[in-house]
Structure 1
Amino acid sequence: MAEFLNVALTFPTLPYSIVLAFAMVYWLLAACGVVDDGIGGDGLDLDVSDGGLHGVSGMFSRLGLGGAPVMLVIALLAFFGWTATYFVHLFLLQPLPDSLRWLAGSATALLALVPAVPITAVLLRPIRRLLLRLRPVPQTSLLGRVGVIASPQVTTQTGYATVDDGGAGLILQVRLREEGDALPRGERVVLLDYLPEHNHYLVAREHGHPALSFQDSLIAGDKEIHR
């Protein structure tokens, strides 16, 4: 144990130990909900308004490290870099004199990233696909879609509806946009607005909504013209 700590907490393994420890603390905080874990977000997004990190983001993408939370990428790079550096330090660098060990250690710390990058890129492929499946559908992209009420009724206080997304379908919390008679199960409704603070959509009866009725009349008129 003493030898492990001596290698892990001395150069050249020490920088990777610090980064790996920081990543572990970060993920513990993420598991407790203190910080954002990046899951379901936009993945590796290092672009900032002043353009300072555009080059880093582009480099990571070219190396196959894009499309995943940045802290996950850093944690994997740090782990594989630490593993390579640790064993080189343990078996090859310890017997060297201090001056030569610092020079060889610096080269080892840099070269450890050479195998770490492709290994991380390979591991990120299935993780990236999983994150894409977990990523929520952008709420604004559903506005204007037609759903079918699946609850016994929809009022201004309660209800849910299903929306065909081309797959298994979505079940969404919905509320009537305006006070009125409750809509029964099976009624077709249109999604008019999304309230993120309440996590539900405001809906109206499909055929009773003025904009939709006007659109339906235009479609019907167009069909009459082409007959």
Structure 2
Amino acid sequence: MELFFAIFFSFPVIIFSTLLTLCVLYWLVAAIGILHIDCLDIDFDGIDAPPSTGLGGLLLKFGFNEVPMTLIITLISLLGWILSYLSTRYVLIHIFDMSWLYYLSSVTVFIASFIVATYLTAWLIKPIRPFFNKLGSENSHRTFLGQAVIIRSSIVNEQKGEAIYEDGGAGLILQVRSDDRYQFKRGDKAILLRYDSLSNSYEVINESDFMENVK
């Protein structure tokens, strides 16, 4: 046990030990509801083309932009800790004494552990990325429900129709549908009632009817 703690607090393991400890504390705090699970996530919503260089490019390369960043950091910290701990336990402390050569080798171990942990994390999350994509898509569509849109097509029925959602920019063009109870024309204001994933469209109702139902 003494050897374990000696390595735990030694360089380079201490870097991953600190990160892993913070991650464990974060998940504990999140579990009791003080923090939101996605509070550290990096969001690319609304960006037409995420950057291909820098942090954005790194996220895209490994597919990290599709998974909650809290999970990514936790996995890299855990895998990096395991790799650096094993390297120190079975290699460094048996070959080098506490000299400049030890610290130079430790830096190499840290860099190698971080790189390998990053690639391993990308490999581990690959099977679950579709789940987070689907979950993120559903949450994104859910945020539009109850919002007002302006009808842009000449007709809205159960087969076709388009509306514009004013997002503060150029506006988003959404596919909308409505049954025969409501008659819409271009320029009318409507409310997004529910989302249909099969047709990728929103059911809309008149603003006046929506307000009456709310009351």
Q: Please say whether Structure 1 and Structure 2 have the same fold, judged by a TM-score greater than 0.5.
A: yes
Q: 1:34 to 1:66 in 2, by over 3 A?
A: same
Query: What letter corresponds to residue 140 of structure 1 in structure 2?
Result: F
Pair 192,168 (structure 1): closer, same or farther in 2 beyond 3 Å: same
1:28 Cα deviation after fit: 1.2
CA distance in 1, matches of 2:62, 2:24: 23
Asked if residue 45 in structure 1 is aligned to residue 68 in structure 2, the reply is: no
The Cα offsets for residues 33-76 of structure 1, whole Å up to 9 and x where unpaired, read as 2112118x9x53389xxxxxx82232222233221222211111
Alpha-carbon contact 2:84-2:113 (below 8 Å) kept = yes
**Equivalent residue pairs, number:** 161
Q: What is the alpha-carbon distance in structure 2 between the residues aligned to residue 131 and residue 11 of structure 1?
A: 35
Counterpart amino acid of residue 81 in structure 1: G
Unaligned runs of 5+ in 1: 48-53, 149-161, 170-187, 194-200, 206-227
TM-score, normalised by the number of residues in structure 1: 0.59
Q: Which amino acid in the other structure matches residue 61 of structure 2?
A: R
1:106 counterpart residue number: 107
Tell whether the 8 Å contact from 1:45 to 1:57 is kept in structure 2 after alignment: no
Distance 1:101 1:164, change over 3 A: closer
Counterpart secondary structure, 1:108? helix
Distance across 1 between alignment mates of 2:104 and 2:89: 16
Alignment of 1:63 with 2:89, yes or no, is no
Q: Which residue of 1 aligns with 2:73?
A: 74
Q: Post-superposition shift, 1:30?
A: 1.4
The answer to whether the 8 A contact 2:38-2:68 is kept is yes
CA distance in structure 2 between the aligned counterparts of 1:125 and 1:18, rounded to whole angstroms: 26
SS of the aligned residue for 1:89 comes to: helix
In structure 2, the residue matched to 1:117 is: 118
Change (3 A) 1:128 1:142: farther
Residues 115-154 of structure 1: per-residue CA shift (max 9 Å, x gap): 2112111222233222223332243267565679xxxxxx
TM-score by length of 2: 0.62
Amino acid at match of 2:128: I
Q: How does 1:33-182 map to 2 (within 5 A)?
A: 33-38=33-38, 43-45=41-43, 55-95=54-94, 96-99=96-99, 100-135=101-136, 136=139, 137-140=141-144, 143=147, 163=194, 165-167=196-198
Q: Sequence identity, in percent?
A: 24
CA distance in 2, matches of 1:93, 1:202: 69
